[in-house]
Chain A
């Protein structure tokens, strides 16, 4: 197992390097530059700006400098757009925000999704099953850009219970709506995956044996059925977790949370190269790490899997 993890990390390093080079090339081949704002600066001003940020140097030099600073100093450079911030500052400010509501969304999505899926499976073809399936299909077909405005109209405008946006240092009132908006479509997917996988497991031979031994139903489900039924759910959860904690752009933008998703999108529009690279690398590393975590969990859940 240990050797496997080491091997996976060894593969991750070239993967990240390829990611960096590829993003770098794509970014620089897009027209425009980070210094075009509401007005385009005249050539002499542009020259000063490019010199200041090292954009006047040859590409190979820029990319080697960049990789060196990231690897040796963990320094992602200054933001080209936000003049008083470095990329490290932006990630340090935005990532905890996104991580907070992403984490709670994950918890909500898993708890609600798995319970709903299990409930639907063990009460297969009853009204509970139909209700759960209907509910999750409804939730799935409400994407967060529809969900978010609906939530704000209901809870902010009509009921006046919760603020319609902002973060305010992460007070709970500000977290509720983003969490609900983000968790909805995820829990719907989790519920559906759980239900179908659970149905399959419930018909498997070892469950029949367990039932035949006269074990109580609760025990059959908790002890024998749930763990194997979680395998397909788990492979979905890895990328889902990364997706949630690195920010739904829609949720960040709509609720003005100041989270990282917002910075990511804006950096693309602004050609803020360093911010774009920094967040791309962050998302890349998280994806690799969580895929590894999922694979390790696999081995723990399913004794048939050995690395």
Chain B
């Protein structure tokens, strides 16, 4: 066993050596832009924590998906703007009833051990991801994709081979859906749908993703992985488009403390790190080109509790409206979060593809008008000095959430005379309390799983497991169900946002931005891809 490992490792090293003449040595300039390239094409970045898994079938966090996109390649990729471009598949066709997707796989796609990537690898990977045996925490993503029989497979009522995927030949991969899904093709850029090498997985079991065993089909191969410390990926000479890859080595360092990461970035140890909470304005002044902020597909909001046992005032839409109106979002994004965040009056971020932000009335008022309206609504609902409301804002322990909760409670006190206490809980305890409805008002955040409004608005339906408000509106449920099969569901989404704005089960506060410190020499970062799906092979470093 030991000998075998050594042999495999050394042959992998040989492959890297023989195929891996550094790009910058053979190409002094970027093929498209003509910029002079740096001699050392090593990209070093910070992750805040170790990812639970880098197995495509199991990966459950954003940082882990970033790694999986380097080590594996799915059917389709995204370009710098988030548009679909070919990956292992050169393209796809959709049947007239929109229930069958047929992907054509390129014949030059290879695994890092030289084996061809076949449609059978995708069938195996998808069946594996849905199987109760693997128990993937992200198997629900396949349910979201509406693949035939997927729920029964996950629940163990059918065997994985009954999943609606097939491989009529090595280069054709067919997916059968239980309902038409206009954004299905976008969903196959997600790491859960990436292929896995059957022989390697079966030989090594849960340890197959270790550097000494792993076989991938992405632009990079894993050469070193020390959990909670570092990970090194080097270019994969077997990758079909290896000639276009410029970055030779990608180093991922785990640094929990953002302030420490910033210091090490200043010392030149890393190319990209997170910005510590609240420091963006000062850093922007000091490093105008390197401090960067751009919209991302996430929303920050407060949720009410509409369960029967919640306080009586929560059931009055006028009170909920008043509380929402009394929050000055501009002050929060400019003075509290201060990272270029966008004030939110609707749930879905405006950056979402194909989503038209409805012009809700409150968005166009001045803050004075909002406060005046809030006071009127509250008085109308019968609350005031002689019938006061007191409530608690619940949030998960974090300096940033705390600052926002303090600002909000102050605004409620000042504008409406409402006494809001703030209470924080450690993450797991918080999830339990919020999920079971033990709160008055709770902090929440949501990031889109794919670039389409339903990834947000599904949370407003009564069946959603993430509908912490326990909000239920028959029209919303109908509109969202109908949207699933429409060619252009945007009118439905706009209508749902209008209903949500009117009934206020939640208070949208702001839409997130991604804020980083990024080395000036590092180019190619997809700033316009709101999902921030970046691929190391699209990056490059220019000569200083």
Contacts and interface: CB of A to CB of B under 8 A. Distances in A.
Interface of A: 30-33, 35-45, 48-49, 51-52, 78, 81-85, 90, 93-94, 149, 152-153, 156-157, 160, 163-168, 253-254, 256-258, 262-263, 266, 269-271
Contacts of A43: 465
A164 B267 contact: yes
Contact of A45 (B139, B267, B432): B139
A270 B227 CA distance: 15
Contact of B227 (A38, A90, A271): A90
- Select the residue from A37, A83, A262 with max chain B CB neighbours within 10 A: A83
B263 A83 contact: no
A35 B206 CA distance: 17
B295 to A, nearest CB: 19
A160 B426 CA distance: 37
18 contacts: A31-B433, A32-B428, A37-B137, A38-B61, A38-B62, A40-B435, A48-B156, A52-B133, A83-B58, A83-B206, A90-B227, A149-B260, A164-B269, A166-B230, A166-B253, A253-B257, A258-B229, A266-B50
B497 interface: no
Nearest to A270: B428
Contacts of B431: 32, 36, 40
Contact of A256 (B132, B156, B254): B254
B9 interface: no
A269 B427 contact: yes
B227 A31 contact: no
A84 B210 contact: yes
B266 interface: yes
Given A149-B263, A266-B49, A36 B428 contact: yes
Nearest to A250: B257
A-B complex: 10 closest residue pairs judged by Cβ atoms:
A32-B428, A258-B229, A48-B135, A83-B53, A31-B432, A52-B135, A164-B264, A48-B132, A258-B228, A31-B429
Contacts of A152: 260, 263-264
Contacts of B139: 45, 48
A136 B23 CA distance: 54
A156 B269 CA distance: 9
A258 B227 CA distance: 6
Contacts of A36: 427-428, 431
B260 A40 contact: no
B267 A156 contact: yes
Interface string B19-54: 000000000000000000000000000000110111
B11 interface: no
B262 to A, nearest CB: 10
B458 to A, nearest CB: 12
A256 B256 contact: yes
B177 interface: no
B255 interface: yes
Contacts of B472: none
A75 to B, nearest CB: 14
Given A49-B135, A253-B256, 12 more contacts: A31-B428, A36-B428, A36-B431, A40-B435, A45-B136, A49-B137, A82-B52, A149-B260, A164-B263, A167-B229, A253-B257, A254-B257
User: Of residues B58, B155, B228, B253, which shows the largest number of chain A Cβ atoms within 10 Å of its Cβ?
Assistant: B228
A157 B263 contact: yes
B94 interface: no
Contacts of B183: none
Interface string B287-306: 00000000000000000000
Interface in B248-292: 253-257, 259-260, 263-264, 266-267, 269
A35 B253 CA distance: 24
B482 interface: no
A18 to B, nearest CB: 26
Interface in B88-129: none
Contacts of B143: 42
A94 B254 CA distance: 14
Interface in B391-443: 426-429, 431-433, 435
B229 A256 contact: yes
B328 interface: no
A263 to B, nearest CB: 7
A261 to B, nearest CB: 10
B135 A165 contact: no
B154 A48 contact: yes
Interface in B227-244: 227-230
Given A40-B466, A164-B269, A269-B427, A85 B264 contact: no
B226 interface: yes
A33 B429 CA distance: 9
Contacts of A81: 52
B506 to A, nearest CB: 17
> Which among B58, B136, B259, B260 has the greatest number of chain A C-beta atoms within 10 A?
B260
B55 interface: yes
A45 B135 CA distance: 7
A145 to B, nearest CB: 10
Contacts of B452: none
Given A31-B432, A39-B466, A48-B139, A168 B264 contact: no
Contacts of B207: 84
Contacts of A49: 135, 137
B426 A269 contact: yes
A51 B135 contact: yes
Contacts of A83: 52-53, 55, 58, 206
Given A32-B429, A40-B466, A83-B58, A168 B49 contact: no
A168 B206 CA distance: 25
Interface in B213-235: 226-230
Contacts of B426: 269
Interface string B187-228: 000000000000000000011111000000000000000111
A164 to B, nearest CB: 4
B490 interface: no
Nearest to B156: A48
A49 B256 CA distance: 27
